[in-house]
Structure 1
């Protein structure tokens, strides 16, 4: 069995609504024309790709096309549209899809209400948030109220780059947004959360960091050595980083082996980043795990065992309900 936890759906109706509201920081152009809508043709293409790669389930999100607006009403309307479409597709997919809920941030009370609706009524298996929200880091204390509720629920929280490349013109002017901008966001966000002691203060939350945590595996020793520069207390970042889970969107075997040695194979989850990775690249994102020199046991953990343990009964119920 294979469970892909990093996959996107970009309904045109939702993208049009975002644009009608003035657009988000990342813009919707990057999400269009990728066969990522919920049309029959796009779904047939998606399922054919999954079948060829042997992927049984995709967990879908609309990130980084998130419903983040300073206007409460716009955020709520956009979030409810996105989540309604995702919930409908999960039902239509009959056991092939699950979904992460989008939240109308930075509006904490509304985000908590939408969390309740999506997890309790729509059967979603977690929520997705961006590394930054309208320019504020996810680790900012203004989001502690949301984290408190997610902690109470022991919720899975999928963290995806916001797509702004750390607001660095050096990165964007060189057109390096995709290759390094997003992984840099993953790296900085995880360290900011560790610095703010968010995983320690809210231990019930199960955070997933995208793209193997960016540069974290490669830089972990350097980060530990310099930890006193940016975080108080005796805890080492390498120990705190093991509180997270990490998806495998990367495709470099040496990087995957490094992540396994750094975090443990039990903290890794299959991810493909479809629709940005399609066809041969989608196949590569799945196959490289088995081709990376890991043990067969570790490969199976990454392909599905860790996801089943992480999501638990929520995933089983979602798949059983949608397949009925």
Structure 2
């Protein structure tokens, strides 16, 4: 069975340095999570070592995605230059490994016009198949009218927008996430809770802004099984009574414009819950490499919780192929991964 993992992180030395060089108050403290164990080296590698890790895990294709917090928090001029360089490096990696690597485009969202220009520049670049974004750039949310041209361009080009979690604004952290020791404060504001609230809220704001009425072809992806959105959807859909400017109910947009990724959390009960609120056609496999490390045995066991082989194929690869416009694999590549997964079943 072919396996495509869609949210596989990397970064560049220049971006990492630029993020850490930001002044206090502007610096995104979540970069601290990029420093654990062998994560720094794994993030910088989009070559042979990454391909070897993919082979060991039974992964045929990774879609590269710049590690958080991306270039969103950088000043416009710096964000433009570093985003362009990252996109060119991702293109080169896809040229070197045309059957193994694709990439989400990194955009300088602190300059909305430049973000549109960069998306257009990479429209035909090798390997670029989607967009890695966040819910805010500085104080400007993704649903701000300043970004509407970008979202329209993404819809026209067929580029899905992955909304990745990011740390809450400092005022929100002060009100809701501090009061423990600094490490626990940061964990609560990031992977422990805050990241996921921020990403789910960004998607919800896009819906309430009428984004999908203006751009019905726009597709977004939420990791971590929907960033809490699915878990509260029955309650959230009550907003439909007040959002009378929308063409449809809030839950309807989730069903037609939102895709759900696993982000390394290969947990059967989360799969069962997601299938109660969305279709198997909208669930994507993502490993969240290198923060999670998939292995073939775990992957096989997870896919086999679905009794229907067609559904297994959808989550393993066909949903990603459809959403990201990926070509079918050479027969020998598909056979290699099928053998690897069978050995671990």
TM-score, normalising length: structure 1: 0.86
> Once the two structures are superposed, what CA deviation does each residue of 1:58-105 show, in whole Å capped at 9, x if it has no partner?
001114232235633211111112112222222233421100111111
The 1:230–1:287 alpha-carbon spacing in structure 2 relative to 1, beyond 3 Å, is: farther
The 1:84–1:38 alpha-carbon spacing in structure 2 relative to 1, beyond 3 Å, is: same
Structure 1 Cα separation of the partners of residues 94 and 160 of structure 2: 18
Residue 134 of structure 2 is aligned to residue 130 of structure 1:
yes
Secondary structure, counterpart of 1:7 in structure 2: strand
> Once the two structures are superposed, what CA deviation does each residue of 1:233-291 show, in whole Å capped at 9, x if it has no partner?
462221110121111223321111111221100011111111110266x964x345314
- 1:13 aligns with 14
- 2:149 aligns with 145
Structure 2 Cα separation of the partners of residues 51 and 165 of structure 1: 39
> Once the two structures are superposed, what CA deviation does each residue of 1:120-165 show, in whole Å capped at 9, x if it has no partner?
2344112211121113221122211211222222322121112338
Q: 83-92 or 50-59, which moves further after superposition? A: 83-92
Q: 216-225 or 108-117, which moves further after superposition? A: 216-225
Structure 1 or 2, whichever has the larger Rg, is: 2
Contact 1:63–1:128 (8 Å) recurs in 2: no
- 1:244 aligns with 258
- 1:275 aligns with 290
- 1:201 aligns with 214
**Correspondent of 1:25 among 7, 10, 28:** 28
The 1:69–1:187 alpha-carbon spacing in structure 2 relative to 1, beyond 3 Å, is: closer
Secondary structure, counterpart of 2:266 in structure 1: coil
- 1:76 aligns with 80
Q: Runs of 5+ in structure 2 lacking a partner?
A: 334-345
Contact 2:83–2:106 (8 Å) recurs in 1: yes
The 1:21–1:81 alpha-carbon spacing in structure 2 relative to 1, beyond 3 Å, is: farther
Contact 2:134–2:199 (8 Å) recurs in 1: no
**Correspondent of 2:100 among 73, 96, 101:** 96
How large is the Cα RMSD of the aligned pairs? Answer: 2.8
Contact 1:101–1:128 (8 Å) recurs in 2: yes
Q: 243-252 or 286-295, which moves further after superposition? A: 286-295
Q: 90-99 or 224-233, which moves further after superposition? A: 224-233
**Correspondent of 1:217 among 230, 235, 238:** 230
Structure 2 Cα separation of the partners of residues 288 and 132 of structure 1: 36
Q: 117-126 or 130-139, which moves further after superposition? A: 117-126
Contact 2:207–2:253 (8 Å) recurs in 1: yes
Secondary structure, counterpart of 2:55 in structure 1: helix
Structure 2 Cα separation of the partners of residues 214 and 126 of structure 1: 19
Contact 1:101–1:124 (8 Å) recurs in 2: yes
Q: Alpha-carbon deviation of 1:210?
A: 1.6
Secondary structure, counterpart of 2:232 in structure 1: helix
Structure 1 Cα separation of the partners of residues 260 and 55 of structure 2: 24
Q: 5 Å matches for 1:1-324?
A: 1-20=2-21, 24-26=27-29, 28-32=31-35, 33-34=38-39, 35-39=41-45, 43-69=47-73, 71-164=75-168, 167-169=172-174, 170-171=176-177, 173=180, 174=185, 175-176=187-188, 177-229=190-242, 232-233=245-246, 235-242=248-255, 243-249=257-263, 250-278=265-293, 284=298, 286-287=299-300, 289-312=302-325, 315-316=326-327
Secondary structure, counterpart of 1:277 in structure 2: coil
Q: 122-131 or 101-110, which moves further after superposition? A: 122-131
- Number of aligned residue pairs: give it: 314
